[in-house]
Structure 1
């Protein structure tokens, strides 16, 4: 549920791929999915499979904040569930939600949140919640940092006006610069959209975007850069996979700041607007020795926590 596989976004596809792979590795087969934001109860095929499922997984991602309508759709499963259903909420944020939701989410068989701040919020209400960093952090194989790096990569943002500002920064910057789009080359991994894909490829050519088929290609590209300037949470995550220093403009929640805190990195890397990003330099924002050590340790911890989480999900 809240499946992000068929989205036009490297980070979201990465998370969904990890979930599929890890559950299949543990003997589970995927019987049905409901796309992120969908009114799943109107999908009779999904509902029938959900009733018969041994386990229902909710991929929370950035949905569970500010009492969003998308999160409410996911919460409906607890009203519809049968006594035989196990329901797990994983890879989720929990920020600024109604207190009335606490009683509902406490019915979950297992809860794992992707930042310790979210974990603390639920724990304070007496709900047992585990912590495992965002699954995109384990989506790419560890990348060697011995390769020579050069240039600065710019990325996009959730809000279009912020993306425009970042693109203007890329166009006006001197030296070796790239605009690394978080959008995959193909709009969907499941459905063919030849005209839309052609239009996007022409846009990339016209605007001089660097485009990639999947998150591993993007991470390898970022591993060759000195700095990544982004407005995306998953852009930050994939930069960490690549070991590449980044600075970011805040997204629609504090999720990038939470990520930095949990990874032992400088939270000053996140700004409230793009003004300071436009003058950011690799010399100014390279990793400190402490950050390098923390990043290495916490990326290793992310993998071990993910293994533990999936084992516990299957046993819940």
Structure 2
């Protein structure tokens, strides 16, 4: 069995999308004979973790999960890119995958050249790198791997409107108030447990705290404060990816202010409208699917009256099915190439 180290393990964000991505990385490597022996949590510099440095020296492959972090010259993004030069010291292949890459300084571009392979998750990033003379591959977000494991027939009965939280607290508060105002299903993408099948005592206590959060005092007319919203949000968490998928797939339409919630809507073929995020990842994804017309402004959510008007057309259904099919091919081809680097 070959060994790999994962940098930027985003399950530490307690997020269903991150759980699906990291689980997809580990399982896709394992089925090809490569085991992830150590991982560096999101937001932590690998040099601050002695076990990671040691594991890098002993591994056959370094996998950096780009997952939406490498844009606008962020310092923590630079940490991820610097891993490639460190890996070269030990002649260990390194790869950057599942990345959005946007508006970065030239020094970031130079760091990319030390990776053996670079893969971005939407064509906006691919085109951006191509314009800068950087060779990269394109494989969609790894949440698309869920298409291999879910069975759509059990999700065919749909009813009502769902609305997500947002990485922007003020936007999340607005969405929550819309859910309370209209009686919609509120679907934050966050979770109590970091990774399914792994429950620490701290996580169990966190889960219990969320279960007993009291939302009865929320005033639907006057809205909520930021503090009360963050407390109330916990009461609506789903505790597994499959539970979240079932709720999304049971909707007539999902109003998505989270990138990975949008991905889940595509996986379950659930009609949606989506707002832009802090990079062009939403625009890039929907351009690739061929559904750019489903991007909207946040204020448009409040104007949803007849959700049947947003059902997918036959043409849109075909585009989604084709995107899902091609995604699996591209992602699996990517992992074949990654593992090929291990010799």
Residue 70 (str. 1) matches residue 95 (str. 2): no
Q: 2:244 aligns to what?
A: 218
What do residues 31-69 of structure 1 show as CA deviations (whole Å, max 9, x unaligned)? 211011101101111101112211000000100100111
Q: 2:338 aligns to what?
A: 313
Runs of 4+ in 1 over 4 A off after TM superposition: 204-210
Further displaced range: 139-148 or 191-200:
139-148
2-structure distance, mates of 1:151, 1:192: 36
Q: Aligned in 2, Cα 1:123/1:60: closer, same or farther, shift over 3 Å?
A: same
Residue 160 (str. 1) matches residue 169 (str. 2): yes
Further displaced range: 36-45 or 180-189:
180-189
Aligned residues: 312
1-structure distance, mates of 2:236, 2:151: 19
Match of 1:197 among 194, 200, 207: 207
2-structure distance, mates of 1:116, 1:235: 19
Q: Secondary structure at the match of 2:35?
A: coil
Gap regions ≥5 residues in structure 2: 1-6, 217-231
CA contact (8 A) 2:11 2:194 kept: no
TM-score by length of 1: 0.93
1-structure distance, mates of 2:60, 2:9: 18
Further displaced range: 208-217 or 127-136:
208-217
Gap regions ≥5 residues in structure 1: none
2-structure distance, mates of 1:93, 1:18: 17
Residue 138 (str. 1) matches residue 163 (str. 2): no
1-structure distance, mates of 2:127, 2:81: 20
- Please provide the CA RMSD for this pair: 1.9
Residue 89 (str. 1) matches residue 99 (str. 2): no
2-structure distance, mates of 1:186, 1:264: 34
Match of 1:269 among 294, 297, 306: 294
Q: 2:271 aligns to what?
A: 245
2-structure distance, mates of 1:112, 1:78: 14
TM-score by length of 2: 0.86
Q: 1:173 aligns to what?
A: 182
Match of 2:314 among 283, 289, 298: 289
Query: If each structure's helix is expressed as a fraction of its own residues, which one has the higher value?
Result: 2
Q: 1:117 aligns to what?
A: 124
2-structure distance, mates of 1:16, 1:116: 22
Deviation of residue 195 (structure 1)?
A: 3.0
Q: Aligned in 2, Cα 1:310/1:126: closer, same or farther, shift over 3 Å?
A: same
